[in-house]
Amino acid sequence: MPELPEVEAARRAVEEHCVGKKITKAVIANDSKVIDGVSPSDFEASLLGKTIVSAHRKGKNMWLQLDSPPFPSFQFGMAGAVYIKGVAVTKYKRSAVKDTDEWPSKYSKLFIELDDGLELSFTDKRRFAKVRLLEDPASVPPISELGPDALLEPMTIDEFIKSLSKKKIAIKTLLLDQSYIAGIGNWLADEVLYHARIHPLQVASSLTRESCETLHQCIKQVIEKAMEVGADSSQFPSNWIFHSREKKPGKAFVDGKKIDFISAGGRTTAYVPELQKLSGTQAAKASVKPRKQTPMRKKEENDEDDDDDDALDEPASEEEKNTKSAKSKKGQNPKGGGKKPPAKRRVEESDNDSDDNNDDNNDDDDDDDDDEDKDGDQKKAKRVTKNKQTKVEKTTKKKVEKSQKRKPMKKKVK
């Protein structure tokens, strides 16, 4: 994906080879997804006869200043690129066109021919770019919404430290925010964080002054180094993490150290765990997790009762605690263990109770229901039916006994 170095290389190529030349031909693709807000015919008419005065860039956006407005602007998106044919482009190889290349490319969105025969094309294979025709590109979105350019308008070290102290988000996420710093994309953010030895998920406000100073310096150094080679990635230093970004996990290394991949700021992020470690409270939180897991594993290994494996995990709620406690009790009093009193004896004991003890009898019945949880649905249904019958028998028997007791009392009174 084109980031500040790639777009700046394109701007410099245009500045070097196209400035001062008149546009004699223009072809705009009929692609409304890329050509934004203007018809191809109107776009072409606005370019013909105009002279290119200069080329400008902010962040990942570039625009051509003509001798009169409106001006064409380019938001490079995921695969936008500028190619120039007709001169030997040696310094900015990304913009060079070989004789064997299809020209103009079928992915060309804007094609212009200049009065000296030189030809320029803006291409976009994936169609995420935007090409616009604007009166003043710098005064309207998206350019007007950008933060200071990382190369042209760098913050002072004090401004940088102060701004970071107010940002309570991951540093990688912050660097990707174009309204904070314009021009830093995914690969560039990973590269500067690697060289600064900062974990991508480290909260920006938690960085020490020393880390902030190192990061500030690395942003400048990485961008300048990329520009020295015209953003030609094949010439990036061999000790850059860039060269292993596309490799599979487990096969990516830099300077012999393993590269891991995580998600940060919604993007796949490459970093070296051995060198980029979380610090402060984030490091403490990260170290707590393995300590919690270790005793749980030991407990599981030493536990001889396979039925109680679920009880090793800490319950997340009171309800889970109660559930696990119930399971434990059931395991200690299995059905048929001889500890549960026969139903007949429970009936006889209940017969001796008065009417005030009916609630106790109901509690006994509820206990029976708890024990029945271990049985299948069919057995449970049978037991429930049996309990109901037992209750009816108890009630009937009590009524008979009461009536018998009352009759002799009445005779004695008479």
| Active site residue ranges | 2-3, 60
Cα–Cα distance between 56 and 62 in angstroms, integer? 6
Cα–Cα distances in Å, from 164 out to 167, 199, 208, 227? Answer: 5, 15, 10, 26
Residues in the chain: 414
Tokens of 346: 């429970």
Neighbours of 130 (CB within 10 A): 20
Q: In what order do the strands lie in the sheet with 130-134?
A: 52-58, 61-66, 71-75, 130-134
Cα–Cα distance between 128 and 119 in angstroms, integer? 23
Q: Are 214 and 196 contacting, i.e. CB atoms less than 8 angstroms apart?
A: yes
Q: Are 230 and 94 contacting, i.e. CB atoms less than 8 angstroms apart?
A: yes
Cα–Cα distance between 240 and 263 in angstroms, integer? 20
